[in-house]
Amino acid sequence: MSEPRRETMLVEAIQSGTVIDHIPAGKGLVILGRLQIKNAQARLTVGLNLPSKGSGLKDLVKVDEWPFTEQDAAELALFAPDATVNIIEDYRVVRKFPISLPEVFVGVFPCPNSNCITHNEPVETRFTVLTQGERVQLRCHYCERSFADTLFTEN
Amino acid sequence: MRNPLYGRDIVSIGDLSKSDLEFIIERAAKLKASGPQPLLKDRLIASCFFEASTRTRLSFETAVQRLGGTLIGFSDSGHTSSKKGETLSDSIRMIASYADAIIMRHPQEGSARLAAEVADIPVINGGDGANQHPTQTLLDLFSIAECQGRLEGLSVALVGDLKYGRTVHSLAQALGHFKPRFYFVSPKALAMPAYIEDSLTEAGIQFEYIDQLEDVIPLVDVLYMTRVQKERFDPTEYMHLASQFILKPEMLERAAEHLRVMHPLPRVDEIHPAVDRTPHAYYFQQAENGVYARQALLSLVMNETVLDSVEGDPADV
């Protein structure tokens, strides 16, 4: 437990909440943006280009007083697939899990098909995740079209 | 015998299993042979066309009336509350409280799935934008089974706009249950989308592209023609392309005797009218079969124990 704790101190320790670690360098601000969309009131701290344990650099985001569920973490999977989530209580890591692709994304992304009914109706979008080797596609539950994951992460 | 279609929404061809498809087709054949039966007596069906479609609407409404059902509804959205800004969800909730089932067409993709989730009565998709039109596929399958005497192991050419044509996508998907061999004939710019090719490959279904329409004719049992839409090309390019994908009667000289030409209609130039007089033409029977396929579907969705009654004396129903 000492290692993660020392690392998180690099920015500023949080008493409770979530530390998203091992975000690929350059993606930290994207993650920040996603979290702000989800909760505009969230207290966030970001560390960019921090030294990573292995080699190279990483970004890191701390989220005060919001212990992530697997679902919260999964929503970030397209942006930082290799990141890890540390749940903090009383300045200690009490749980640690990798971000992994969910089976479905509910209410996370707008449908790229501009003629999809979800743009006009009070309904949450719903995408099924389809993986074929390295390729990830999201299929809209409503308009039934499939889109490459990059379509959701670029812009 | 259990009726697996009872009470179900029919939104997408992918929702129907191979046995569901066979069940509906068998039922359509029985209804065609038996003549009209009062299987929708005392049932009120809402026919909601948020987008005009004369052929589909008339076919559905004929099916309902022939089965003794009654109809409410509208033939375009011009006079509905959607013009006033009402959401589709609210419109459907209201209609669902009046009727026993909803048939709907809507210009936006996903509308039928949404409606099916909102309504507590069966919703039958009569076309949602460029996405799905499952009853077209059902009538296509029924017609193929009828004219070929089987669905298994047929050689089928899909011709024309294979990129945007939802009809051919759904047909390829549905026929995929029956070990077909596909031949695709289309302008390069309108080839089958990669995701359809991928799903065929994954399912172990053989397909190949053939450049010339006349070359595919000796190879197939069914020649399924579709329209190349003018608006997708500039006028000169269209003239050139369209001329390559027009079926003329002399091209059918090398056809097998049992080859049948199908088309979802409306046709424009792609089938020469003289083909109508050959024994291969099957597109008008196909259109007529739309009524039987829709009768079959509606009667199965609306009746838990409809199955045995149709085989007996119609007066017993």
Any A CB within 8 A of B128 CB: yes
Residue ending a domain, among A57, A77, A98, is A98
Q: Which of A58, A79, A98 is the last residue of a domain?
A: A98
Contact A145 B89 (CB under 8 A): no
Is A111 inside a domain boundary?
yes
- So what's the pLDDT on residue A80? 92
CB B144 within 8 A of CB B205: no
Domain assignment present for residue A5? The answer is no
Residue B169: enclosing H or E segment and its boundaries? Answer: helix B166-175
* pLDDT tens-digit map of A16-55: 999 999 999 999 999 999 999 999 999 999 999 999 877 6
Q: Is B272 a catalytic residue?
A: no
Distance from CA of A101 to the nearest CA of B (A): 21
Partner-chain residue, chosen from A115, A117, A146, that has the shortest CB–CB distance to B195: A146
The per-residue pLDDT for B111 is 98
Is the Cβ of A134 closer than 8 Å to some Cβ of chain B?
A: no
Judge if A86 and A143 occupy the same domain.
no
Do A52 and A94 share a domain, yes or no? Answer: yes
pLDDT in tens, chain A (155 residues): 445 555 545 556 899 999 999 999 999 999 999 999 999 999 999 999 999 877 689 999 999 999 999 989 999 999 998 899 999 999 999 999 999 999 999 999 999 999 999 999 999 999 999 998 888 999 999 999 999 999 998 75
User: Residues 6 or more apart from B82 whose CB is under 8 A from it?
Assistant: B50, B88, B91
Q: Are A149 and B116 in contact (CB under 8 A)?
A: no
Return the pLDDT at B315: 41
The domain tally of chain A equals: 2
> Domain containing A72 — which CATH number?
3.30.70.140
Residues A133 and A85 in one domain: no
Asked if residues A105 and A138 have their Cβ atoms less than 8 Å apart, the reply is: yes
Task: Find chain A residues with C-beta within 8 A of B129's C-beta.
Answer: 115, 143
Strand partners, B70: B44
Do A51 and A122 lie in a common domain?
Answer: no
Q: With CB atoms and an 8 Å threshold, state whether A115 touches B114.
A: no
For the entire predicted model, the pTM comes to: 0.89
Domain range for A48 is 17-98
Residue type, A109: F
Residue A11 lies in a domain: no
Residues A43 and A82 in one domain: yes
Residue B136 marked ligand-binding: yes
- Say what the pLDDT of residue B305 is: 83
> Is B57 in the active site?
no
Which position among B8, B27, B43, B56 bears the catalytic label? B56
Which of B82, B105, B106, B113 should one mutate to test binding to chain A, selecting the residue with the greatest count of A CBs within 10 A? B113
Same domain, A118 and A79: no
Single out the catalytic residue among B2, B79, B83, B84. B84
For residues A91 and A144, membership in a common domain is answered with no
Q: Are residues A94 and A121 in the same domain?
A: no
Check the annotation: does B248 bind a ligand: no
State whether A37 and A84 are in the same domain: yes
Q: Are residues A83 and A114 in the same domain?
A: no
Per the CB < 8 A criterion, the answer to whether A117 and B88 are in contact is: yes
A117: domain CATH number is: 2.30.30.20
Do A68 and A128 fall within a single domain?
no
Angle between helices B54-66 and B283-302 (to 10 degrees): 50
- Are A31 and A82 part of one and the same domain? yes
Say if residues B5 and B20 touch (Cβ distance below 8 Å): yes
Residue in chain A closest to B195 (alpha carbons) equals A146
**Could you report the average pLDDT of every consecutive run of 10 residues in chain B (317 residues)?**
91 97 97 94 97 95 98 87 86 97 97 98 96 97 98 97 92 96 94 90 95 96 92 83 88 97 93 97 98 98 74 43
